[in-house]
């Protein structure tokens, strides 16, 4: 899975498996196409699960989630890699200064909100806006939070 994403040449896709894993087991996520997810964060995003209302993440924080589907026959298929990166203040007001990126399992880039001519990732932010008060982050469902990551 990671090898496929890495073909994109994206630095996050190449590196995220060396980051801190924030969840203790893959969990099902409706918001991302009903896939199982794992969630990783870079060093700048340390303490991400402790984020409280009114706080914001430091610039350079990156959160990455890889995903897979399991069919009724128990076959496993790789899904997309979802990435959020905190960019400098006011550089992307339409996305709350988050860059949203989606990389397909074969390494192709589905969209990147940093690219001005591409608004295909706006739907990410439209949903993440529901948690605007916590810097647009949903955090991981409680029982899947890794104790080690906290
Ligand atoms: C319909 C709502 C919805 C949409 C659309 C959506 N998300 Fe999310 N996102 C969530 C929810 C709910 C969570 C927390 C649970 C989880 O991990 O799935 C989350 C969590 C995340 C996280 C972990 C950071 C956090 O919020 O704690 C990343 C990274 C992320 N989403 C990226 C994306 C990207 C990139 C897109 C678009 C390609 C996207 N999301 C589209 C609902 C959504």
Nearest to 5 by CA among 61, 63, 65, 62: 65
∠21-22-25 over CA atoms, to 5°? 85
CB burial of residue 17 (10 Å; 0-12, 13-18, 19+): middle
Chain centroid, CA 109 distance in Å: 14
137 lines ligand 1 (CB under 6 A): yes
- Given the candidates 3.30.56.10, 3.10.20.340, 3.50.70.20, 3.40.640.10, the CATH classification of the domain at 2-138 is 3.50.70.20
59 lines ligand 1 (CB under 6 A): no
Ligand 1 geometric centre to CA of 117 (Å):
22
pLDDT at residue 22, rounded to an integer: 96
Ligand 1 geometric centre to CA of 72 (Å):
25
Cα distances from 25 to residues 58, 61, 82, 102, 125, in angstroms, run 26, 22, 17, 22, 25
Cα distances from 89 to residues 8, 83, 97, in angstroms, run 27, 18, 6
Nearest to 31 by CA among 128, 144, 131: 128
100 lines ligand 1 (CB under 6 A): yes
Distance CA 67, CA 88 (A): 28
By most ligand atoms within 8 Å of CB, the mutation choice from 82, 85, 122, 146 for ligand 1 is 82
Per-residue pLDDT of the chain (150 residues; tens, 9 = 90+): 899 999 999 999 999 999 999 999 999 987 777 789 999 999 999 999 999 999 999 999 999 999 999 888 889 999 999 999 999 999 999 999 999 999 999 999 999 999 989 999 999 999 999 999 999 999 998 899 987 655
Domains of the chain, residue spans: 2-138
The residue contributing the CA closest to ligand 1 atom 14 is 138
What sign does the CA torsion over 86, 90, 96, 101 have?
negative
Q: Which atom of ligand 1 lies at the shortest distance from residue 110's CA?
A: 38
124 lines ligand 1 (CB under 6 A): yes
Instruction: Please provide the size of the chain in residues.
Output: 150
Nearest to 37 by CA among 144, 112, 128, 125: 144
Q: Could you identify the residue written with the tokens 């979802």?
A: 82
């Amino acid at each position: 899975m990671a090898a496929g994403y890495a073909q994109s040449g994206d630095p996050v896709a190449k590196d995220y498996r060396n980051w801190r894993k924030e969840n203790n087991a893959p969990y099902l996520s409706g918001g991302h196409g009903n896939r199982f997810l794992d969630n990783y964060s870079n060093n700048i995003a340390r303490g991400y699960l402790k984020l409280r209302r009114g706080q914001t993440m430091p610039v350079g924080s990156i959160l990455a989630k890889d995903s897979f589907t399991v069919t009724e026959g128990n076959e496993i298929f790789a899904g997309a890699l979802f990435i959020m990166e905190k960019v400098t203040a006011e550089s992307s007001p339409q996305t709350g200064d988050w860059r949203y990126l989606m990389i397909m399992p074969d390494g192709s880039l589905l969209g990147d909100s940093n690219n001005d001519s591409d608004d295909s990732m706006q739907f990410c932010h439209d949903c993440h806006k529901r948690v605007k008060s916590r810097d647009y982050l949903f955090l991981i469902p409680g029982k899947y939070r890794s104790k080690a990551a906290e």
